[in-house]
Structure 1
Amino acid sequence: MSSPLVCFDLDGTLVDSGPGIRASIRHAAAAVGVPEPDAEQLRALIGPPFPRAFRDVLGVDAATADAMMTAYRECYGGGAMFDVEVYPGVPDLLAELVARGDTLAVTTSKPAEYADVIVAHLGLDKYLAGGVSGAGEGVEGKAAVVGLAIAAHTGPVVGLVGDRSHDVEGARAHGLPCIGVTWGFGGRAELTAAGAAAVVTDPAEIPAALDELRR
């Protein structure tokens, strides 16, 4: 039997991508004449898929959201994506899970073309035998990218690890549990309200939380 699959969100779970994303959102807002988002709006915008998140959080119309998406990609793809750091303890966590026989995959609402470059830039790709599933043509949202990872795997799937409510919801769409992490952009209250199976405060707690899911 193939090894168990564990899916990980990227932004706010494996990496702190906040500086580059916030800078790109500010650039996008300025480019279309939208007022600069405040701190709470910026937090809410990190994680959910664009351009829908621009509509939901900022209240702009579809055409404005699409224009913001174009400007966002100019900034983010132009170099802001590299303003990112791996959270402390994450490499040790991934190495431990691989050593004990799990297959790891990234499932992110970020476009796959960016996610692939980022995980390689940070040296995380060596842990991801399950690959990187991200948004693309006809693929949008957490449930869709989780579905891609599941379809590419022939063995059992343990669940998803993420930092936002949409991670919990995306996992649930496939009948999977989600372990929430508090060091990202969501927080315990958001994750608990969404129905996370467990909420952890340190990467070192994840192996034991995954063991509970297996039981």
Structure 2
Amino acid sequence: MSAPVVLWDLDGTLLDPAGAITGGIARALAEHGHPVPADLDRFVGPPVGVSLRTFTDVPEEQIPHVVASYRARYRTEGLAQTRIYPGVEELLETLHGAGVRMAVATQKPEPVAVLAVEKFGLGRWFETVSGAADDLAAPHAHPHLAHDKPAIIGEALRRLGVTAPDPARAVMIGDRTYDAEGAAAHGLDCLGVTWGFAAPGELEQGFVAVARDVAELTGLLAPYTSLAPTGR
């Protein structure tokens, strides 16, 4: 029997950006003279360039400047604000000790995602970090990277050597609809977590179950990983 596979989203699932993303985007927009949208939580999930095109009226030619400002501040200030959600490290250690194979599948640009994973010492539990192409790159500029979640999950599975994942032994964990849609594209279930950035009602769409805390998530993972559920 093949080993269980668990794929994790990054921001809002493993890591709490603690305003690093929303505050950074607000400052970058203001710095370049653009209005700041009221609901910045929508920006947590998609690549920044995609969010700017979707949720703002920033002209296309100015988007690279806003993204560059955001990125520079994220590397110097944003990562310092970021924290690992409570209980996540313990769960990762338990899964790893049980022989579960794990990867990160995130729409954050891959080099930045790798930097974040390394900064917080998460790399010892993950075989690979599959991220998005550069926010500003054309969709096919990097053959091994993509913008959309289905392709990012597909790349994570490819790197794991799991070409035909067993839906009974593989699962995605995330906090946004993108995660559920990406998992469904590969015939996989997606477990939602309430501690992320989902809008009201968003976790009711496409997720097979939703965890309110890490203990509950451990129990939801049990059928896929053969872990004993954690008592509450």
**TM-score scaled to structure 1, two decimals?**
0.89
Which residue pairs with 1:124 in the alignment? 122
- Matched letter for residue 150 of structure 1: L
Residue in structure 1 matched with residue 178 of structure 2 by the alignment: 166
Q: Is the 8 A contact 1:8 1:162 kept in 2?
A: yes
Is contact 2:17-2:78 (8 Å) kept?
no
The unaligned stretches of length 5 or more in structure 2 are 134-141, 227-232
Partner amino acid, structure 2, of 1:105: A
Partner of 2:155: 148
CA contact (8 A) 1:28 1:71 kept: yes
- Shift in Å at residue 161 of structure 1? 0.1
The equivalent residue for 2:10 is 10
The answer to whether the 8 Å contact 1:27/1:75 transfers is no
> What's the CA shift for 1:18?
3.4
Equivalent residues of 1:82, 1:118 under 8 A apart: no
Task: Quote the offset at 1:14 in angstroms.
Answer: 0.6
3-state DSSP class of the match of 1:18?
A: coil
**Cross-structure match for 1:114:** 112
Q: CA deviation at 1:187?
A: 5.2
Question: SS of 1:132's equivalent?
Answer: strand
The amino acid of 2:215's aligned partner reads A
Q: Distance in 2 between the 1:187 and 1:141 partners?
A: 19
Partners of 2:105 and 2:153 within 8 A in 1: yes
Alpha-carbon separation, structure 2, partners of 1:187 and 1:88: 21
Whether 2:51 is the aligned partner of 1:53: answer yes
Q: Normalization by structure 2: what TM-score?
A: 0.83
Structure 2: how far apart are the matches of 1:188 and 1:203? 20
Q: Which secondary structure state, in structure 1, belongs to the residue aligned with residue 12 of structure 2?
A: coil
Deviation at 1:208, TM superposition (A): 2.3
Q: Is the 8 A contact 2:29 2:66 kept in 1?
A: yes
Q: What amino acid is the match of 1:37?
A: P
One-letter amino acid matched to 1:142: K
**SS state of the match for residue 108, structure 1?**
strand
Residue aligning to 1:80: 78
5+ long unaligned stretches in structure 1 = none
What SS does the aligned partner of 1:183 have?
coil
* Distance in 1 between residues matched to 2:148 and 2:91, nearest whole Å: 26
SS at structure 2 position matched to 1:152: helix
Residue type of the alignment partner of 1:176? L
Q: What's the offset of the Cα at 1:191?
A: 1.3
Q: Provide the rounded CA distance (Å) in 1 between the counterparts of 2:107 and 2:216.
A: 24
TM-aligned CA distance change 1:59 to 1:173, over 3 Å: farther
- Alignment-derived partner of residue 193 in structure 2: 181
- Of Structure 1 and Structure 2, the greater helix share is in 1
The 3 A distance-change label for structure 1 pair 188 and 131 is farther
Cα deviation, residue 15, structure 1: 0.8
17 and 50 in structure 1: CA distance in 2 versus 1, 3 angstrom threshold: same
8 Å CA contact 2:114, 2:129 repeated in 1: yes
